[in-house]
Structure 1
Amino acid sequence: MTAWLPTVPDRRELIKAASTGLVLAAARPALARAPLAGAQVPGLYRMKVGALEVTAVLDGHLDLPQALFPKATDGEAEALLDRAAVPRARHVNCPVNTYLVNSGDRLVLVDTGTADAMGPSLGLMPRNLAAAGVTPEQIDTVLMTHLHPDHANGLITPDGKAFFPNAELVVAGVEYDFWTDQALMNQAPADSQSFFRMAQAALQPYNDANRLRRLGRDASEVVPGISAVAAPGHTPGHTGYRIASGSQQLLVWGDIVHVAPFQFARPDWSIAFDTSQDTAAASRRRLFDMTATDRIMVAGMHLPFPGIGHVLREGEAYRFVPVPWQPL
């Protein structure tokens, strides 16, 4: 009646079988392993805004001293870093992003990164652009949020030629006038004069080729589907760009935020690089309010890569919610 039950080996047979298996396993050659890559994958993220294709293109990252935020106390800064699960440190990570907009018949790049101006952790835009399948020659228009070197130095090659040989360069007229003012440069502190010289060098080949357009104060649509949004304070002509297609919008707001854990919670915390910290804080609050009220997606040059998401109100403050990965 129990013939259907399986035969159970005794303990000695089990030990013998297990030992044989171990010997055979040890005799097998080790499976091939992938070597450690030792490098990050290309810094790219692609999404749709209506019919437009927007690609975040990483240039690298900076480590900013916490001391660059004059209103930040050690205790509050540490509390905000803890809240964001960011390690406490005297330096905080600051990504540098650029954005490529493809309409199908036009390629527009917003900002260009640093090239070789600011150390080995930056200057990755060209290789990441190549990984996206785009050459510098294909770029039709370059829009500048402002002319600091971490945004404008990618405009030129090491020997001062235009990195984007076929592109029209677009910059706010107020921004252009500020950085090309020789008298203003001569009055600036010595360590700030290099910023003027780098901006002038970045503009030069586009000026020489008559491919530089200065936006007026009342500028709206810059190229089809993209309009300028004045956001002064960080620099006099600091400009955001509103990308619109169908019912969808994305505001590329430049340097409205440098350190996300700090400035969404404390919009009044401006960075020492701002030409007017009060004006920068006013622009930040205005754009926070607008994008939170109208549920407009934002993209920031110093938001955690890919730097795209939504601004939500949180009492008197705000918070940033990154967009989830999504297929095209």
Structure 2
Amino acid sequence: MVGRSSVIFGSLGIATLMAIFAPAANAAAPMAGGQAPGFYRMMLGRFEVTSLSDGTHPFPVHTVLTKNRDEAGSQFVPLDQVAPGEADALLAESRLTVPVEGSINAFLINTGSKLVLIDAGAGTLYGDCCGKLIDNLRAAGYAPEQVDDIYLTHLHADHVGGIAPGGKMAFSNATIHVSDADASYWLDPEQEKKAPKLLTSMFEGDKASVKPYVEAGRFKPFKSGEQLVAGITAIPGAGHTPGHSFYMVESDGQRLLLWGDVVHVAPVQFADPDVTLAYDSDPGMAKKERIEVFSKAATENYWIGAAHISFPGIGHVSARDGHFQWVPTNYDAQPTSPK
């Protein structure tokens, strides 16, 4: 005798049975949105180096890129006037178009005895695009109160704003350092009066950012050549600002140069190092410094940490057929052992 259930199942057919007993399908998964936490870690000898992203922002390529148009190199005008189409053509070679998202990177150096932050991002000074450094610092396994010293390459908003977002001290135990030449310029009301309107907001952002540290006695400019943290040396790199500084980090024979604002738009300025910036205080000097730094970095093969090259901004400079190139770091999933 055939059971009633067997008769019913038999009449339904295999395809119908599969549909009845199949697990219910999930609704379409929502888009996750956003990026992964913005930190990247490498070892430099015995030092741990962590690149931190403060975010990206649309970089005004056609507004701020400049170039000298006279043989003496004293007249700097918008790049589009000197070489129409150059910026767009060079960007296209890297599959990029305007507007280009510009990275704002900072670098955390753990020497084993000191935790040092080089630059601090824009904080709230650039709006909602940025100010992600603190969250990424925490994601990287550190807390702001663990930072001992902050060394700034210069006092432009996208390097100093992160020390005091909204005017509030973000690093409760850190001392802020910058070259005395930069501090003397950007914190001087008389210089602000004489500066072009393009830079006015920089002066205001600087004063608001350093104010809580000045009041706490923890804003200490340094003179060129002074001893900094063991393994970290300041190198004058004037041109972009009056006291723009590079920092050479050295451990066990390995070197990393944190060069601040040597490069803003890598596809353009590696191909044409003569391209300068409207923000340069001395564009002729900035151009000269860039070419010298490119040449030395390519020759001596040390690491570079760049504030405005696509995150993580770590790599090398190479030279081929008379042209400079950026070689980004190869991703290393196990950066815990000195190499």
Q: TM-score, normalised by structure 2?
A: 0.85
Q: Would you say the 8 A contact 2:165–2:209 is kept in 1?
A: no
| Residue number among 46, 49, 55 corresponding to 2:50 in the alignment | 55
CA distance in 2, matches of 1:84, 1:44: 24
Cα distance in 1 between the residues matched to 2:19 and 2:288: 68
Is the counterpart of residue 290 in structure 1 residue 296 in structure 2? yes
| Identity across the alignment (%) | 38
Quote the residue 2:10 is aligned against.
none
- Whether the 8 Å CA contact 1:264–1:319 is kept in 2: the answer is yes
User: 1:283 deviation in Å?
Assistant: 0.9
Q: Out of 83, 88, 92, which is 1:82 matched to?
A: 92
Query: Residues 101-135 of structure 1, C-alpha deviation per residue, up to 9 Å, x if partnerless?
Result: 11222111111111111121111111111111211
Q: Deviations over 1:286-307 (max 9, x none)?
A: 1111111100110101011000
* Displacement of 1:190: 4.1
SS in 1 for 2:87: helix
Q: Deviations over 1:61-105 (max 9, x none)?
A: 12122221123334322221122222x32x222100011111222
| 1:132 counterpart = 2:128 | no
3-state DSSP of counterpart to 1:213: coil
Seen in structure 2, the aligned counterparts of structure 1 residues 28 and 222 have a Cα distance that, compared at 3 Å, is same
User: What one-letter code is carried by the residue in structure 2 that aligns with 1:193?
Assistant: T
Aligned-residue offset at 1:184: 1.1
In the aligned structure 1, how far is the partner of 2:40 from the partner of 2:15?
47
In 2, the alpha carbon distance for the partners of 1:126 and 1:116 equals 12
What is the aligned residue count?
307
Counterpart of 1:105, as a letter, is S
Answer yes or no: is the 8 Å Cα contact 2:108–2:118 preserved in 1. Answer: yes
CA contact 2:87–2:268 (8 Å) conserved in 1: yes
CA shift in 2, pair 1:267/1:190, >3 Å: closer
Distance across 1 between alignment mates of 2:288 and 2:95 = 28
Select the residue among 12, 16, 22 that pairs with 1:28: 22
Indicate which of 324, 331, 337 corresponds to 1:325: 331
User: What's the TM-score, normalizing by structure 1?
Assistant: 0.88
Match of 2:305 among 264, 283, 299: 299
2:298, 2:118 → 1: CA distance?
23
Q: CA RMSD in A?
A: 1.9
Distance 1:310 1:103 in 2: 22
- SS of residue in 1 equivalent to 2:128: coil
Q: Distance in 1 between matches of 2:116 and 2:252?
A: 18
SS at match of 1:222: coil
Residues 131 and 31 (structure 1 numbering): CA distance in 2 closer, same or farther, change over 3 Å? farther
In 1, Cα distance between equivalents of 2:198 and 2:287: 24
- Aligned residue in 1 for 2:237: 231
For residues 280-326 of structure 1, the C-alpha deviation after alignment (integer angstroms, 9 at most, x for no partner) is 11111111111111001101010110000000012332000001111
Amino acid at match of 1:28: A
Q: Distance in 1 between matches of 2:223 and 2:294?
A: 24
Cα distance between partner residues in 2 of 1:286 and 1:170: 25
1:175 and 2:187 aligned: no
Question: Partner of 1:150: helix, strand, or coil?
Answer: helix
Aligned-pair CA distance for 1:192: 2.5
Distance 2:242 2:44 in 1: 29
- Paired residue secondary structure (2:312): coil
CA displacement at 1:20 relative to structure 2 = 3.4
| 1:130-155 deviation per Cα after TM superposition (whole angstroms, max 9, x unaligned) | 11121111110001000111110111
Aligned to 1:252: 258
Gaps of 5+ in 1: 1-18
* Residue aligned with 1:218, SS: coil
CA distance in 2, matches of 1:197, 1:269: 28
